[in-house]
C-alpha cells in the first residue's frame, strides 16, 4: 500500500540530446528551489546525472549535482567541495562554479578559502555579482563571530552587503527566480482564497475541485493534496483522507508531517492495518532519526503485532536518544517481560522508578516490578519492598495494598496481610474480592464471626460470587457447626458456577454431616466427574470420601 520513491521511477526520454536533458534538469531544479518539493529534487538529480553521462566536461552539471546530492544527504561536504573544484578546473572563468565552491567551503567553516572564491566570483560576474557579494558579506560576518570583531572586516562586510543589494537589479537569473517565486505565490494565494471561500459556505465538493486544480496548475501537489486530506479529516471521511495523503507521499515521500498524519488516521480508524501503520513510523524514523517519540510509538505498534524483538530495538533506540525518559524505560521493561527477559525488565523498571517523573505513575511501575519478584522470581521479600515503595509513592494505590496483602499472605504473615486488606477497603469499600480475601485470612486466624461478616459483605456486593458463597458455607459448616446454613450457600455456589468442583465436594460434606448419605454420595460423585475434567482437586480424596460413606468399619 505504501512505497518509497526511487530515481528509476522518473523517466528520461530515450534519445534525448544534451540540450533537452539540461533544460529538463534546469526546470526541475528551479521548481525545487521555488517549491522545495523533494520530487522535483529527484527529477533534477536524474536529469543532471544523465547530462554528465552525455558530457562529463560540463562544469555547470558538476557544481549543481554537488548541491543537490548534498541537499539530499547522499554526499558529505568534502565530496561536494571536490565536485565544485572539478567544476572550477573545467571552467576557471565561471562565476557560478566559484560561488558554489565558496558556499561549501563556508559550510565547512573554511572561511578564508570561501572568501577568496566569493571575491573571485564577484570579479568574474562584474555587474551580475549580487549573489556572491551578499554571501561574501554573510561569510565575513560568520568569521567575525568565530574570531572576534575587527573594524576593517566589519565595514568590508557592510560594503559587500550594500553593493550586493544594489547589484541585484542587474542579476537577471536572480530576478527571474524572484518573479517565478512571486507569481507562483500569487497563484497559490488565489486558489487558496477561492477554495477557503467555498469551504466557508460548506460547498466541499467545489473546495476539493479547486484544490485539485491548484495542485495541477501550480505544481504544488504537496500543499494542495495536504489541504484535501485535511479537509476530509475534518469531514470525518478517513478513507478519502488516506487516499490523498498517499497521493501526496507519492510525489513527496520525504514529507514527515504527512507520514505522521497518515499514521494517526490509520491508528484511529484502521487499527488492524498494522503493516501500514508500521510503514508510516518506519518512514518517519528514516526522516527523523533523532525523534525519540517516533521510535517509542513504533515500539508499541510492534508490540501490537507481537513482533517482540523489533519492539525492544525500537524502545532501545528511543532510550539512546532520550536516556532520561522514564516512560521509554517502562515500555522497554514491558516488552522484555513479553520476551521473558525478567532480569532485563527488572533493570528497566528500576531505571524508570529512579527517574520518577510522577509519583502516581512511578507507584504503578513499582507495583509491576513487585509482581515480577512475586510471581516470577518467587522473591517475596523483594516483592514486599516494591509494593511498600508503591504505597509510599501513592497512598491511594488500591491495587498496591491488595498486592502487598497477597504477598504477606504467601509469606504466612497473616496480621500484616489483614492490615493491608483493611487499608484497601478504606480506599474502596465496594470490591467483593477484597472482602473475600479478608474473610479467608480471618478464618485462618480463627476469627469465625469476623470471617462470616467479611464473606457476607462480599456476597451482598456480588450475589453470584461463587467463591465467597463456598467459603461462607465452609465457615458455617466447619466453624459454626451449622450444616443446614452451609448447604444453602453451597447450593447457591454451584448454581452460579456449575463446574465448581470444590463447592460440590463441600456440599457433599455438609449432607454427610446431616447423615443424608444418598445425597452426599450424589454430590461426591458429581464432584469426582467434574474433577476428571478440571483437575481442581485430588480425585483419590473424593473417591475415599465416597467409600467411607458406606464403610462398615
Kindly state whether residues 29 and 129 are assigned to the same domain. yes
Q: Long-range contacts: 13-22, Cβ < 8 Å, 24+?
A: 16/50, 17/54, 18/51, 18/54, 18/55, 21/47, 21/50, 21/51, 21/54, 22/47, 22/51, 22/60, 22/61
Alpha helices by DSSP H, 270-324? 274-287, 292-304, 308-321
Distance between CA atoms of 289 and 502, rounded to whole angstroms?
A: 58
In the numeric block, the cell 553593493 is attached to 163
Residues 247, 131, single domain; the answer is: no
pLDDT number for residue 387 = 96
Residues 107 and 36 in one domain: yes
End residue of a domain, out of 148, 178, 208: 178
227 and 120 within one domain: no
Quick check: is 254 in a domain? yes
Question: CA-CA distance, 321 to 338, in Å (whole number)?
Answer: 23
- Residues 475-528 have pLDDT tens digits of 999 999 999 999 999 999 999 999 999 999 999 999 999 999 999 999 999 999
Reduced to 3 states (helix: H, G, I; strand: E, B; else coil), residue 491 is: helix
Is the per-residue pLDDT at 122 higher than 90?
Answer: no
CATH of the domain at 485: 1.25.40.10
What is each CA distance from 417 to 33, 393, 451, in whole angstroms?
A: 72, 20, 14
Report the number of distinct structural domains present in the chain: 3
- Establish if 313 belongs to a structural domain: no
Angle at 270 between CA 265 and CA 271, to 5 degrees: 105
548 in any annotated domain? yes
Average pLDDT in the chain: 87
Q: Are 85 and 167 found together in one domain?
A: yes
**C-alpha pair distances (Å), 277 with each of 218, 261, 267, 271, 466:** 31, 11, 7, 8, 44
User: Are residues 255 and 137 part of one domain?
Assistant: no
Phi, psi of 91, deg, nearest 5: -140, 80
Q: Is residue 31 part of a domain?
A: yes
Q: Cell for 13?
A: 526520454
Same domain, 15 and 151: yes
Q: Does any domain span residue 344? A: no
Question: Contact 253/282 with Cβ under 8 angstroms?
Answer: no
Among 120, 152, 178, the domain boundary falls at 178
Cell numbers that stand for 515 in this block: 447423615
Residue 458 lies in a domain: no
Highest mean pLDDT among 52-56, 149-153, 325-329: 325-329
- Whether 265 has a pLDDT exceeding 80, the answer reads yes
For the ranges 108-122, 335-349, 480-494, 511-525, which has the lowest average pLDDT? 108-122
Residues in the chain: 553
Q: What is the pLDDT of residue 183?
A: 57
pLDDT at 8: 42
- 190 & 51 share domain: no
- What phi and psi values does residue 258 have, to the nearest 5 degrees? -70, -35
* In a shared domain, residues 47 and 137: yes
Q: What is the pLDDT of residue 553?
A: 52
| pLDDT range class, residue 214, cuts 50, 70, 90 | confident
How crowded is residue 146: how many other Cβ atoms within 10 Å of its Cβ? 8
Is the Cβ–Cβ distance between 383 and 370 less than 8 Å?
Answer: yes
Which of 245, 271, 297 finishes a domain? 271
Whole-angstrom distance, CA of residue 461 vs CA of residue 160 = 86
Same-domain pairing of 162 and 42: yes
Q: What is the pLDDT of residue 11?
A: 52
Does 122 reside within a domain? yes
Same domain, 71 and 130: yes
For 339, the 3-state DSSP assignment is coil
pLDDT of residue 159: 87
The distance from CA 40 to its chain's CA centroid, rounded to whole angstroms, is: 31
CB 210 within 8 A of CB 198: yes
Cell, residue 82: 571536490
CA gap 380, 398 in Å, rounded: 19
pLDDT of residue 34: 57
Domain that holds residue 524: 463-553
Give the pLDDT confidence of 221-254 residue by residue, as tens digits: 888 889 999 999 999 999 999 999 999 898 888 8
DSSP 460-474: HH-TT-HHHHHHHHH
Q: Helix 256-269 to helix 238-251 angle, to the nearest 10 degrees?
A: 150
For residue 463, the model assigns a pLDDT of 96
Cell of 155: 565595514
How far is C-alpha 267 from the chain's CA centre? 11
Please report whether residue 267 resides in a domain: yes
Say how far apart CA 312 and CA 333 lie, in whole Å. Answer: 9
174 and 196 inside one domain: no
Single out the residue of 487, 540, 539 nearest to residue 509, CA to CA: 487
Amino acid at each position: 500500500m505504501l512505497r518509497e520513491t526511487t530515481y528509476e521511477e522518473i523517466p528520461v526520454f530515450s534519445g534525448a540530446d544534451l540540450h533537452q536533458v539540461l533544460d529538463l534538469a534546469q526546470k526541475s531544479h528551479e521548481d525545487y528551489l521555488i517549491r522545495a518539493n523533494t520530487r522535483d529534487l529527484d527529477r533534477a538529480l536524474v536529469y543532471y546525472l544523465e547530462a554528465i553521462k552525455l558530457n562529463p566536461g560540463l562544469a555547470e552539471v558538476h557544481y549543481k549535482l554537488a548541491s543537490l546530492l548534498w541537499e539530499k544527504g547522499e554526499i558529505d561536504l568534502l565530496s561536494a567541495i571536490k565536485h565544485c573544484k572539478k567544476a572550477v578546473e573545467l571552467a576557471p572563468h565561471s562565476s557560478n562554479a566559484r560561488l558554489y565552491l565558496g558556499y561549501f567551503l563556508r559550510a565547512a567553516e573554511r572561511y578564508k578559502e570561501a572568501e577568496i572564491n566569493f571575491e573571485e566570483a564577484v570579479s568574474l560576474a562584474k555587474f551580475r555579482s549580487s549573489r556572491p557579494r551578499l554571501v561574501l558579506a554573510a561569510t565575513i560576518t560568520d568569521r567575525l563571530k568565530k574570531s572576534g570583531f575587527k573594524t576593517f572586516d566589519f565595514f568590508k562586510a557592510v560594503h559587500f552587503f550594500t553593493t550586493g543589494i544594489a547589484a541585484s537589479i542587474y542579476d537577471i537569473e536572480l530576478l527571474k527566480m524572484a518573479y517565478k517565486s512571486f507569481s507562483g505565490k500569487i497563484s497559490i494565494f488565489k486558489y487558496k482564497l477561492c477554495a477557503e471561500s467555498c469551504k466557508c459556505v460548506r460547498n466541499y465538493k467545489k473546495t476539493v475541485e479547486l484544490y485539485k486544480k491548484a495542485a495541477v496548475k501550480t505544481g504544488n501537489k504537496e500543499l494542495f493534496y495536504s489541504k484535501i486530506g485535511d479537509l476530509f479529516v475534518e469531514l470525518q471521511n478517513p478513507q478519502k483522507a488516506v487516499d490523498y495523503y498517499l497521493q501526496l507521499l507519492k510525489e513527496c515521500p520525504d514529507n514527515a508531517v504527512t507520514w505522521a498524519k497518515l499514521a494517526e488516521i490509520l491508528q484511529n480508524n484502521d487499527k488492524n492495518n498494522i503493516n501500514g501503520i508500521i510503514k508510516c513510523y518506519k518512514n518517519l524514523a528514516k526522516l527523523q532519526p533523532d525523534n525519540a517519540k517516533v521510535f517509542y510509538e513504533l515500539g508499541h505498534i510492534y508490540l501490537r503485532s507481537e513482533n517482540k524483538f523489533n519492539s525492544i530495538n525500537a524502545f532501545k533506540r528511543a532510550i539512546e536518544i532520550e536516556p532520561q525518559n522514564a516512560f521509554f524505560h517502562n515500555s522497554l521493561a514491558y516488552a522484555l517481560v513479553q520476551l521473558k527477559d525478567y532480569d532485563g525488565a527488572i533493570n528497566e523498571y528500576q531505571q524508570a522508578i529512579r527517574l520518577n517523573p510522577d509519583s502516581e505513575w512511578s507507584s504503578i511501575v513499582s507495583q509491576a516490578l513487585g509482581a515480577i519478584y512475586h510471581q516470577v522470581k518467587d522473591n517475596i521479600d523483594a516483592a514486599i519492598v516494591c509494593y511498600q515503595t508503591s504505597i509510599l509513592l501513592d497512598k491511594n494505590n488500591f491495587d498496591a495494598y491488595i498486592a502487598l496483602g497477597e504477598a504477606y499472605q504467601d509469606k504466612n504473615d497473616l496480621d500484616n496481610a489483614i492490615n493491608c486488606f483493611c487499608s484497601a477497603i478504606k480506599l474502596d469499600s465496594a470490591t467483593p474480592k477484597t472482602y473475600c480475601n479478608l474473610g479467608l485470612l480471618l478464618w485462618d486466624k480463627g476469627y469465625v464471626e469476623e470471617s462470616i461478616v467479611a464473606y457476607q459483605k462480599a456476597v451482598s456486593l456480588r450475589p453470584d460470587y461463587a467463591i465467597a458463597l463456598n467459603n461462607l458455607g465452609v465457615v458455617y459448616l466447619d466453624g459454626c457447626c451449622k450444616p443446614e446454613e452451609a448447604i444453602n450457600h453451597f447450593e447457591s455456589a454451584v448454581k452460579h458456577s456449575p463446574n465448581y468442583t470444590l463447592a460440590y465436594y463441600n456440599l457433599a460434606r455438609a449432607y454427610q454431616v446431616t447423615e443424608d448419605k444418598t445425597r452426599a454420595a450424589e454430590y461426591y460423585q458429581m464432584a469426582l466427574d467434574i474433577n476428571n475434567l478440571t483437575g481442581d482437586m485430588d480425585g483419590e480424596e473424593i473417591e475415599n470420601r465416597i467409600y467411607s460413606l458406606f464403610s462398615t468399619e
